[in-house]
Amino acid sequence: MTRRIAVIGGGLIGRAWTLVFARAGCEVRLWDPDAKVRAHALDELAETCRQSGDDPSSIAQVTICADMATAVDRVEWVQENGPEKLEIKREIYAELDRLTGSKTILASSSSALVASRFAEGLAGRARILVAHPVNPPHVIPVVELCPGPDTAPEVMDRAEALMRDVAQVPVRLTREIDGFVLNRLQAVVLAESLRLIEEGIVTPQGLDDTICHGLGRRWTLLGPMATINLNAPGGVKDYLDRYGPTMARLSDSAARGEAFTERAAEIVAADLPAPSQVQELSRQRDTRLAELGRFLRDND
């Protein structure tokens, strides 16, 4: 039986999710409150396919809906991509809870708000969770699944299975935490990076090269834990015995929130492509990410 999925919000993330579900064979219903976004959504999806090398024929699986009620009618899963504003999210979830049956899972792409903030008090809070993608999800497969305190374990099981079925890589968190996992790791890297740059130890380009042509390559194949497991003859415990004290010392002296200064931002901005190039470079990034994804899949 064809799975039926609703995507709420037709911006960049909503369209990328639409493609994730459609290319996996789901029937996708896309709704956005803005009539203009709805009118251009199919053309934008075709353009997204062109950039990522995805087969545009899967767009035939997508229906643009004129209202939310039609979009979410008898769907298995709602992927919500509304603005990261608490009041708006609360309104959307009250509406989604009212419009959907008890079997429908309501998943938010929220990166900043945890589910308890917008699910609180709703009858359907056991079927609400965060399914946080990396931008954009059609070329980066990881999805953080973060339950609220009332999310049912069975809902988390179904969420994990669905994400695997549509070829994403679900990472299941056991409870809410500010920033989930991915942005917590990004935050510590950004803080220390900005500090090293502002202190003049390294240029922004040099910092990027260190990750891009160094750690990032290892981490693309292995992840930080699998990486250190191979960096000592006796595996991860041997590594932490040998290098743990050094790593602890380095993290003790690492930068924190104070590193996010105006001056660091100025230095980085001066060394990077101008804002006028952001759109074109993002397109190129997505094309290259799609190619990298295919390479990694074929060479696994």
The interface with a copy of itself within residues 263-292 (CB under 8 A) comprises 264-266, 268-269, 271-275, 278-279, 281-282, 285, 288-289, 291-292
Q: What is the CA radius of gyration of the chain?
A: 21
- Other C-beta atoms closer than 10 Å to the C-beta of 268 total 18
Q: Is 234 in the site for a copy of itself (CB under 8 A)?
A: yes
Asked if 204 is part of the footprint of a copy of itself (rule: CB under 8 A), the reply reads yes
Instruction: Please tell me the distance from the alpha carbon of residue 159 to that of residue 122, in angstroms, as a whole number.
Output: 19
Q: Which stretch binds a copy of itself (CB under 8 A): 3-11, 97-105, 114-122, 225-233?
A: 225-233
Q: How many residues line the site for a copy of itself (CB under 8 A)? A: 111
Give the x/- contact pattern for a copy of itself in 138-167, rule: CB under 8 A: --xxx-x-----------------------
The window from 23-31, 89-97, 148-156, 210-218 that contacts a copy of itself (CB under 8 A) reads: 210-218
Q: How far apart are CA 255 and CA 14, in angstroms?
A: 35
Q: Is 209 helix (H, G, I), strand (E, B) or coil?
A: helix
Half-sphere exposure of 89 (CA within 13 A, CB side): 25
Question: What is residue 78's three-state secondary structure?
Answer: strand
Residues of span 13-32 touching a copy of itself by CB under 8 A: none
Q: Which stretch binds a copy of itself (CB under 8 A): 21-29, 54-62, 74-82, 137-145?
A: 137-145
| CA atoms of 229 and 225, how far apart (whole Å) | 6
CA dihedral over 58, 60, 61, 65, signed as positive or negative: positive
- Reduce the DSSP state of residue 130 to 3 states and report it: strand
State the minimum distance, in angstroms, from the CB of residue 135 to a copy of itself. 7
Q: How far is CA 189 from CA 173, 174, 178, 260, in A?
A: 21, 23, 16, 12
Do 128 and 106 form a contact (C-beta atoms < 8 A)? yes
Member of 24, 94, 152, 190 binding a copy of itself (CB under 8 A): 190
In this chain, which stretch among 41-49, 64-72, 85-93, 200-208 interacts with a copy of itself, using CB under 8 A? 200-208
The sign of the dihedral angle between the CA atoms of 295, 42, 171, 238 is: positive
Binders in 236-265 for a copy of itself, by CB under 8 A: 236-238, 240-241, 244-260, 264-265
Among 69, 123, 161, 221, binds a copy of itself (CB under 8 A): 221
Nearer to a copy of itself, 39 or 221 (CB): 221
Q: Which is nearer to a copy of itself, 161 or 222 (CB)?
A: 222
